[in-house]
Amino acid sequence: MDETLAVEPFGFFTLEALRAGWYVVWRQLVRVVPVAVGALLIGAGLGRLGLSVLGVLVSSLGVLAALVWAIVLVPRLASRWAEGYYGYPLTGPGRVWWAIFWRSSVASLVASVILTPPTMVAASLSIAFQGSALGGLGKLMMTVLGVANGVVAVVTTGWAMSKVASAQLSGLPMTSLPFEPAAIASEPVGLPERDDEMVTSSPVAIPEAVAMPATVPVPAVAVTAPRLAPVAVAAATPPAAVAEAKRQCPKCGLSETERGTVIGWYCTICGWRESRR
């Protein structure tokens, strides 16, 4: 029977909640803040040029686009975080965003109610005792409380993400993480790694050898030598006879001469004839 995935939400003031919230917050800020700041700068530049109405319109539209983008990024980043942490992504971007939003809003509201009295005391000290030690202490308290509010917002986001992941992923079958295509392609398919696995896993039946006699009788075949046709071989002519049969032509120097019975020696190449006296 397959085991099911058990996902427990993080505690509120835990390091895991802080890490999860920071994963989403800083990736959201590095995308949204430049858009908002750029829109405000463009609007201010148009206002200095005398186009105040157009500058206000550009600034408003830029801030609105940054706000919408921040809302869209929350479920995407939360799903990516869940896939990296638990191995499963979150489904339903609208539901994910709403679940994180209302939990973060409630937790932030509770935190603001708790931190409101010390914030008011710090503001009163900084205003009433300006330039004194108590005034400096009030400013320091306001700075610390501002940082605490930011940390609470980050922790609240991480805690809300863990609650959403616990609600969606609990009870899913426990399976291994998906393999990468490059890893699958690089592994051999259907081949055992060891020789003993090859023998035990897939035995191959080998047919028995057929007994063959040591000597095989070969029938006797009568072989007759082929008869060669007689070849006429011309008798070798001695060199003296060849020299006597062929004279060298004194005109062209070749030995292409013939001896006639009437005219005597003559050359078949240049037409030389032996003179007779």
Confidence at residue 262, expressed as pLDDT on a 0 to 100 scale? 59
Residue with tokens 């292409």: 256
pLDDT tens-digit series, residues 192-244:
444 444 434 444 444 444 444 445 454 554 445 455 444 444 444 444 444 45
Residue 52's pLDDT band (cuts 50, 70, 90) = confident
pLDDT tens-digit series, residues 162-205:
999 988 887 666 654 443 333 333 444 344 444 444 434 444 44
Comparison of pLDDT for 213 and 144, the residue scoring more: 144
112's tokens: 């603001």
Tell me the mean pLDDT in the region 38-62.
90
Q: What percent of the chain has pLDDT over 90?
A: 27
Confidence at residue 263, expressed as pLDDT on a 0 to 100 scale? 66
Residue 136's pLDDT band (cuts 50, 70, 90) = confident
Q: What are the residue boundaries of the structural domains of the chain, listed by start?
A: 15-175, 241-277
Tell me the mean pLDDT in the region 92-118.
89
With vertex at residue 24, the alpha carbon angle to CA 182 and CA 152, rounded to the nearest 5 degrees, is 150
The CB-based long-range contact list for 239-245 (8 Å cut-off, 24+ gap) reads: none
- 252 burial level (CB within 10 Å; 0-12, 13-18, 19+): middle
Residue 254's pLDDT band (cuts 50, 70, 90) = confident
Tell me the mean pLDDT in the region 65-91.
91
Q: What is the 3-state secondary structure (H, E, C) of 40-106?
A: HHHHHHHHHCCCHHHHHHHHHHHHHHHHHHHHHHHHHHHHHHHHHHHCCCCCCHHHHHHHHHHHHHH
Tell me the mean pLDDT in the region 256-266.
72
Residue 28's pLDDT band (cuts 50, 70, 90) = very high
Confidence at residue 123, expressed as pLDDT on a 0 to 100 scale? 87
pTM, rounded to two decimals: 0.56
